[in-house]
Amino acid sequence: MATYIMLSTLTDEGRKTLKERPERLQAVNKEVESMGARVTSQYAVLGGYDFVNVIEAPSNEVMARIAMELGSRGTIKVTTLPGMPIDQFVEMMQGAPPTGGTIGK
C-alpha cells in the first residue's frame, strides 16, 4: 500500500458540523475504509490546515476518489500528497535502482 498525506481545512459548514457532532471524524474514517484505504494516523493541527491525515491506499486512483468524495460535500477542502518512506528516499538519492516503492502506485 502507498502512503498519502491528506491535509484538510474545514469550511464554515464543516466547522459547524464538527462543533455539533465531533464524532463525525471517526465516521469519516470508516467511510475512507469502505472506499479501500485506511487512516493510519490523524492529527488536529494549528496553522493553515485543521487536520493532517496519514492514509494508506492501494493506488492514486483510490486516493483521488476519496479526495473527490470528501471534498464534494462542501465541509472540507483537501490537499493530498503522496509520501515516500525516508529510507527509500535516501536509497534513491544514493543511486539505488528503483524498487517499485510506494509513490505513483
Backbone angles phi, psi at 33, to 5 degrees: -60, -40
Residue numbers of the domain that contains 82: 2-93
Strand 2-10 with 38-44, pairing: unpaired
Helix 24-34 and helix 60-71: axis angle, to 10°? Answer: 140
Residue 58 is assigned to a structural domain of this protein: yes
Where residue 103 falls (left for φ over 0; alpha for ψ -120 to 50; beta otherwise) is beta
Is 20 domain-assigned?
yes
Closest Cα partner for 51 from 18, 16, 3, 84? 18
Contact 82, 104 (CB under 8 A): yes
The CATH number linked to 74 is 3.30.70.920
Half-sphere exposure (CA, 13 Å, Cβ side) for 72? 6
Say whether pLDDT at 98 is over 80. Answer: no
Residue 105 lies in a domain: no
| Residue 9, all three cell numbers | 481545512
3-class state of residue 83 by DSSP: strand
Q: 24 pLDDT exceeds 50?
A: yes
Question: Would residue 100 count as lying in a domain?
Answer: no
pTM given for the model: 0.84
Residue 103 within a domain = no
At 60-90, the pLDDT tens digits run: 999 999 999 999 999 999 999 999 999 989 9
Number of domains comprising the chain: 1
